[in-house]
Amino acid sequence: MFGYFREMHREQGQSCHEQREEFRRRHRHGGFGERWEGFGGFGAGRERFFDSGHLRLVILQLIADKPSYGYEIIKAIEERLAGSYAPSPGVVYPTLTLLEEEGFASSSAEGNKKLYAATEEGRQHLKANQPLLKAIFGRIDQAGRAFGRRRSPQIKRAMTNLMLALRMRVSRGDLSQEQLSKISEAIDAAARAIDEV
C-alpha cells in the first residue's frame, strides 16, 4: 500500500524530503489527527489525546524499549491507557514508515510482518527529548489510572445496550416528532437520575 503512495509522489516529482514535509503538513494535528474518546465514547466530548508529534515520540520510545510489530505497538498503548484509547493501524503504520524515512527506526521483514526497532539516531533523538517524553508518558499513565478507576463492566454493558436500542429503533424507519420527544425525554431522565446518584 505504501509503495503505491511513494510511486504516486515520485511521479509527481517530489523528493523524499518533500514527501515527508507533505505528510507532516497533512497530519500535523495531535498525534497525526488521532482523537481520544472520553469514557465509553458515547455522549462524551472528544478531545485530542496526543499533541502534535507526541505519538511519533511514544512509538519511537516503545520500539527503543523493545523491537515490536505494529500491532504490538497499538496493544502496548491501549494497555497503558487501560483500554480507553488505541491508535488505529492507519496512524501507526504511516508513523513507523516516517520514522524509518527519518532514519530513527529500522525494520526487518519476518514473513508478512515487519519488526521495528529504533536506530542509534532514533535513540539519540529520544535522549534529546527526555523531558518531553517524561511529560507525555506521565500524562499517559495518569489517564490510564483515571480510566481504570472509572471502568465498570456493568456501566459499559448498559451504555452499549442504550446505543444498540437507539440504533435499532432509528433503523426501523422514520420517527415522528412525538417519538423523538419521548426518546429524548427518556435519555434526559436517565441523565438526571445518574447525576443524582
SS3 of 128, please?
A: helix
Q: Report pLDDT for 2.
A: 42
Tens digits of residue pLDDT in 169-184: 888 888 889 988 999 8
Q: Which residue has the higher pLDDT, 83 or 73?
A: 73
- What are 93's three cell numbers? 503504520
Confidence class of residue 111 from pLDDT cuts 50, 70 and 90?
A: confident
CA distance 193 to 179: 21
pLDDT score at 52? 77
* pLDDT tier, 118 (very low <50, low <70, confident <90, very high otherwise): very high
Q: How far is CA 21 from the centre of its chain?
A: 22
Residue with cell 539516531: 121
**What mean pLDDT do residues 2-8 have?**
41
Q: What is the dotted CATH code of the domain comprising 2-151?
A: 1.10.10.10
160: its cell numbers: 452499549
Question: What average pLDDT does range 21-26 have in this prediction?
Answer: 49
Residue 14, SS3 per DSSP: coil
- A 10 A CB-CB count for 9 gives 16
The pLDDT-based confidence of 33 (bands split at 50, 70, 90) is: very low
Amino acid residing at 41: G
Q: Are 40 and 66 in contact (CB under 8 A)?
A: no
Domains of the chain, by residue range, sit at 2-151, 154-196
| DSSP reduced 3-state for 68 | strand
Rounded distance, CA 52 to CA 49, Å? 10
